[in-house]
Amino acid sequence: MTTNHIQKPAIHVQGLEKSYKELEVLRGVDFDVARGSIFALLGSNGAGKTTIVNILSTLLRADAGTASVNGFDVATKAADVRESISLTGQFAAVDEILSGRENLVLVARLRHLKDPGAIADGLLDRFALTEAAARRVSTYSGGMRRRLDIAMSLIGNPPVIFLDEPTTGLDPQARIEVWQAVRELAENGTTVLLTTQYLDEAEQLADRIAILHGGRTIVNGTLTELKQLLPPATVEYVEKQPTLEDVFLAIVGADRKEGDAGNDRKCNTDE
């Protein structure tokens, strides 16, 4: 992370191609992600979002094109790339048999950090998991698991974080908690590449949005730029009905606001 890397974009992708046997998944993907920004890759299932994330996190090799993360080429400087990133995969990659705290300590030790216990305790506190710290992860709710998963990705403060569909399968409350965590990351200068199939998620979080379709990034811009691609808005008067999400959050939000007390209590009885 020398100064000449700071000038370059955090992620640079050009002409990326990848096929699985006959199936062409990526057919020339280009995009740049500026440092400290949140970039959303939007696409339907099977559009190739995970393939891009896997190439960028050195789990998969591209057939053609170049990609660099934090100034390091993913093909030739894979080890440096791995020093610079954290991957939060599509399914919360946590160890179910270990406790939440043990999961965090494990990652801290694998990142060769000093005082893994203190790092774990700090993150448990930050993600409201202190009460559940000593419990096996198999007793956690989906939202708690995802929070732990993201907490594990923050260990060692990597400058670039990949979040592959971080809110798929979460309830609305847990989704908002994840969004909050992602916003805090960007505020602290971390670059976030986020994939999602939810349009509102990209709208809520991302500084820039790219839409992946047919193996290419067909649009790439800020939300405002993307909106300008549509015909100008017409003014209509419509009675604003609360959405089901508004109703859900209004009803359950009240008693879940106090930390995750509701969530934890439910799991305690499960044990």
Partner 1 sequence: MTKHFLGDTAVLLGRSLRHITRSMDTIITTTIMPIAFMLLFVYVFGGAIDSGSDSYVNYLLPGILLITIASGISYTAFRLFLDMKSGIFERFQSMPIARSSVLWAHVLTSLVANLISLVVVVLVALLMGFRSGAGVPAWLAVAGILILFTLALTWIAVIAGLSAKSVDGASAFSYPIIFLPFISSAFVPTDTMPGPVCAFAEHQPVTSIVNAIRDLFTQRPVGTDIWIALAWCVGILIVAYIFAMVTYRRRIS
The residue ranges that bind partner 1 (CB under 8 A) are: 54, 57-61, 79, 82-83, 85-87, 89-98, 102, 106-107, 109-112, 152
Judge contact between 179 and 201, C-beta under 8 A. yes
User: Closest approach of Cβ 96 to partner 1, in Å?
Assistant: 7
Q: Which residues pair with residue 194 across a beta bridge?
A: 40, 163
Closest approach of partner 1 to the CB of residue 207, in Å: 24
CB nearer to partner 1: give 34 or 60.
60
**Closest to 72 measured CA to CA, from 4, 143, 174:** 4
Q: At what angle do helices 142-154 and 261-270 cross, to 10 degrees?
A: 110
Smallest gap, in angstroms, from Cβ of residue 61 to partner 1? 5
CB nearer to partner 1: pick between 59 and 176: 59
What is the closest distance, in whole angstroms, from the C-beta atom of residue 85 to partner 1 in the complex? 7
For residue 108, the minimal CB distance to partner 1 (Å) is: 10
Burial per residue of 181-190, b for 16 or more beta-carbon CB atoms within 10 angstroms, e otherwise: bbeebbeeeb
Q: How far is residue 8's CA from residue 11's CA, in Å, rounded to a whole number?
A: 8
Q: Which is nearer to partner 1, 82 or 256 (CB)?
A: 82
CA distance 208 to 41: 9
41 versus 87: smaller Cβ distance to partner 1: 87
Alpha helices by DSSP H, listed for 137-234, are 142-154, 172-187, 199-205, 223-228
- In the complex with partner 1, the residue whose CB is nearer, 95 or 121, is 95
Would you say 138 and 95 are in contact if contact means Cβ atoms under 8 Å apart?
no
Distance of alpha carbon 271 from alpha carbon 170, whole angstroms: 22
CA 146 to chain centre: 10
Nearest to partner 1 of 69, 211 (CB atom): 69
